[in-house]
Each structure stands twice: as structure tokens, then as C-alpha cells.
Structure 1
Amino acid sequence: MTITYSCIANGRSILAELALTGGSYKESTAIVLRQVLLKAEQKSTIQMGSFVYHTLLIDGITYLCATDNALDTVTPSAFLKNVSDAFVRNPLLSQDYFPTSNAIEVDFQQVLGKYMVKYNNNEDDGSILTLKSQISDVKSIMTKNIDKVLQSEEKLNSLSNQMDETEVTAKTSQKTKLLKRILWKHFQKMTVITLAIFLLIIILLSTNIIPI
């Protein structure tokens, strides 16, 4: 996921904006801002064309960002919260009106750019770390399952040694069949988990969460 555009608006008037990619966001942004004002909801997510617009409305100020993927809503939310906090702390806002100069626009283009780069970079790192953690968990499960199977086999051998030859032959056969079923079930479970990991990787690659 990439944050490609962001802006700060007072009503429908954009105070500052920044786009990291080419193309025009003005028409879609105007529609989104209009919907935000009509609904007056603090948070909203709106699909417009190939982009997803996330908004945060606080005290009449709308903080907006556009992303190229709808799967991740946590990163845009954190981005908008950081931008809103930085905006409120700005000394220019101590006045009872917004200055007519471009002071806010110049200042907050830098703020928008700073946080866009930060969250775009962190999102990629976070996805990779999450995937590595999931793979590590699967390895841990597989190791525990194998240990359990080996322990079961040891108990089976110990039990067999305590029985007479006739009973050993019959019961060993039963235990062997049981062990085979246990091993087969573990094999099926590991196969499903492995396929799930590959499917997850394919989804992450296809949605650009992990860049190719």
C-alpha cells in the first residue's frame, strides 16, 4: 500500500496538499470533501476510481489521504492522526482566522511529505516483518508436532517391549496403523498451512503490500 496524495481542507477549501504521483486528484477530492461535510462523520473511507480516500474530520478541518489499496486501513488512520496533531500544534492557528498568505500551504506541504514518506516506508517493512513472523510461527508448530509424533513413537516402543511376543505382534500392528494415521493427519495439516502461506504471499504481492 502507498499513500499517493494527501491534503488538509477547511470546509471545501484546500489549505495544503501534496501528491507523490502524477495525475489529478482535484475532482475526486472535491467530491470526497463534499460527502464528508454532508455526512459529518469523523472518519470515512471512500473508493474513487483506482484510489481509496481516507478522511478524518476534526473541528471543521478535514485531513485526507489517498491510497492505492483498500486492504490496509490502519496505516492511513495513523498517518491522518499524526498530520492532524501537527496541524493543531502549528502557531499560525493561534489566530482566529486562517492567514491569506501561503504560509500554511508551504509549511504543511513539508509536513505532509514527511509523514507520507515515513508511513509508506514503514508499511513495507511492517508487511515483511509480519510475513516473517507468520512463517516462524508455522515452523514452530511443525517442530512441536514432529516432537509429539516422536514422543508417541517412543512410548509405543516402550509399551511393546513390556508385552509378550504374541501380544506385541498384534498390538504393534494396531499402534503402527494408529501412528501412520497420526503422521498422515499432521502431514495434511502442514500441507494446508504451507499452501496458506503461499496464498498469503501471492495476495500481498498482487496488492502491492510487498513490492515485487
Structure 2
Amino acid sequence: MIVSTAINRLSDKLPLTAYTDDTLSASEISKYIAEQKDLIRKLNASSEPRASIESGPYTHHYLISDGVIFITFCDKSYPRKLAFTYLDELSREFINSYGRNIEQPDLRPFAYITFENFIQKTRRVYEDTRTNVNLDKLNAELQDVTRVMTKNIEDLLYRGDSLDRMSDMSSSLRAESSKYRKAAKKINFDAMIRQYAPVAGAGLIFVFLIWWLFLR
């Protein structure tokens, strides 16, 4: 379940629009709304562009794109891949609609509150992860979100860890991943050589015998 979504300007954290599920009581989610706001305040241009932060029964997911923060928190069981596809869809539509005006210095808070209607409609589409359209999105989405960093909320808000550090950690993971991919390719190539070398050798011997007996 997608509980709350917010869109803020990255440079000064100005809130541009937001939507929260009104079927849940404020007391149930007030702690996580506060965490969402704290996370927004911590983000900057050096932060990892997308990450997941676990907190109790929920997970915060955020995406930074074109100077805008798109952040949502969902039930921990909600597929992470689907959460980021949801944020990607919001970011494309929002930037396409308002991208030229986002950095206006006189922009007032919640200047694009009407975008809440699009958030609600998109949220409904992504709400049921069992629908065929969502399963198709899960299968077709090319973004490798297995590389998205996952942290615990205590590390970031209560133990003083930095979101900026996550970028270095993610780069290290990507380097390790590249190293393992290269190793896997070499292993596969060696296995192919071992599999087909005897066949190729026998074929060469056969050709040589034909040449020796009939063609020389």
C-alpha cells in the first residue's frame, strides 16, 4: 500500500505538492510523515539519486530527478521495484508539466497542489500489485533497482549517518557488481571452450584426414 507521497524542490526543500492516504488516522502515520519530512531536509545534490529507507512496518523510497525530490512511503511488503516505477511515472509527468517553472524564486509552497489529482490516479493504478498491468510493469521495468541502496531509518535520522555517504557505498557496489559480471563472463567462456573444444578438435582431424587421403 502506498501511504504518502510528497514532491519537493531539492534546492530549498520547498513543498510543491503532496498526497496522503486519508483512510489511515493521523495518529497511525504521524511518526512516518515526520520521518519523511526529516529525510527531505537531509537530501541535497550530493545525495544518492534513489534509495530505500526502512522504518518499522514501512519503507521510505525517494527519487531525485531534475532538481526535484519525489518521495513516498509504503508498507514494507510493497514491491520496491513497483514503488520506484510509481515514482518514475510521477517524475516524468511532473517535470513534463512544470519543469520550466520549478526554479522560480517566488514560487509559493504547494504551488502545484493540483498535481495531487494525478498522484491519486496513479496511486490507484499501482495500489493492487496483483493486477496484470502492475505485473507487466514489474516484468518489463528495465531499471535495476537491486542496486538501490537500502538503509535503516535509525542510521539516517537517529545515529547521524549521511545520505551523501550512500553514493560512495553505491559506487562501490556497482564496481563490485561489474567485477563479478566480468568474472562470470570469463567462467562462461571457459566452460564453452571446454564443452566445444573436443568437438572442434575432432572436426579438424577429420578435415585433415579427408585432405590427406583424397585432396593432397
**TM-score, with length taken from structure 2:** 0.51
Of 22, 25, 28 in structure 1, the residue corresponding to residue 25 of structure 2 is 22
2:130 maps to 124
Residues 7, 112 of structure 1: 8 Å contact kept: no
Q: Distance in 2 between matches of 1:101 and 1:17?
A: 11
2:108 maps to 100
Residues 7, 71 of structure 2: 8 Å contact kept: yes
**TM-score, with length taken from structure 1:** 0.52
Equivalent runs, 1:69-108 vs 2, <5 Å: 69-70=76-77, 72-90=79-97, 92-95=98-101, 96-97=103-104, 99-100=107-108, 102-105=110-113, 107-108=114-115
1:66 maps to 73
Moved over 4 A (4+): 126-130
Q: Distance in 2 between matches of 1:74 and 1:93?
A: 25
Specify the code of the residue in structure 1 equivalent to 2:5.
S
For structure 1, the residue ranges without an aligned partner over 5 or more in a row are 131-212
1:76 is displaced (CA, Å) by: 0.4
1:31 is displaced (CA, Å) by: 2.0
Q: Which structure's relative contact order is higher, taking Cα pairs within 8 Å and 6+ residues apart?
A: 2
Of 26, 30, 34 in structure 1, the residue corresponding to residue 41 of structure 2 is 34
2:6 maps to 7
Higher-helix-fraction structure: 1
Residues 62, 69 of structure 2: 8 Å contact kept: yes
Q: Distance in 1 between matches of 2:91 and 2:67?
A: 12
Specify the code of the residue in structure 1 equivalent to 2:9.
N
For structure 2, the residue ranges without an aligned partner over 5 or more in a row are 137-216
1:102-121 Cα shifts (integer Å, max 9, x gaps): 4401x211111111111013
Equivalent runs, 1:167-206 vs 2, <5 Å: none
1:6 is displaced (CA, Å) by: 0.7
Larger-Rg structure: 1
Q: What secondary structure, in the 3-state scheme, does the structure 1 residue paired with 2:108 have?
A: coil
1:100 is displaced (CA, Å) by: 2.3
Q: Distance in 2 between matches of 1:28 and 1:101?
A: 20
1:65 is displaced (CA, Å) by: 1.0
1:56-85 Cα shifts (integer Å, max 9, x gaps): 011321101111125611110110000000
Q: Distance in 2 between matches of 1:104 and 1:14?
A: 9
1:125 is displaced (CA, Å) by: 2.2
Indicate the RMSD between aligned Cα atoms, in angstroms.
2.7
1:173-200 Cα shifts (integer Å, max 9, x gaps): xxxxxxxxxxxxxxxxxxxxxxxxxxxx
Identical-pair percentage: 17
Q: Distance in 2 between matches of 1:113 and 1:127?
A: 17
Q: How many pairs does the alignment contain?
A: 126
Q: Distance in 1 between matches of 2:134 and 2:5?
A: 25
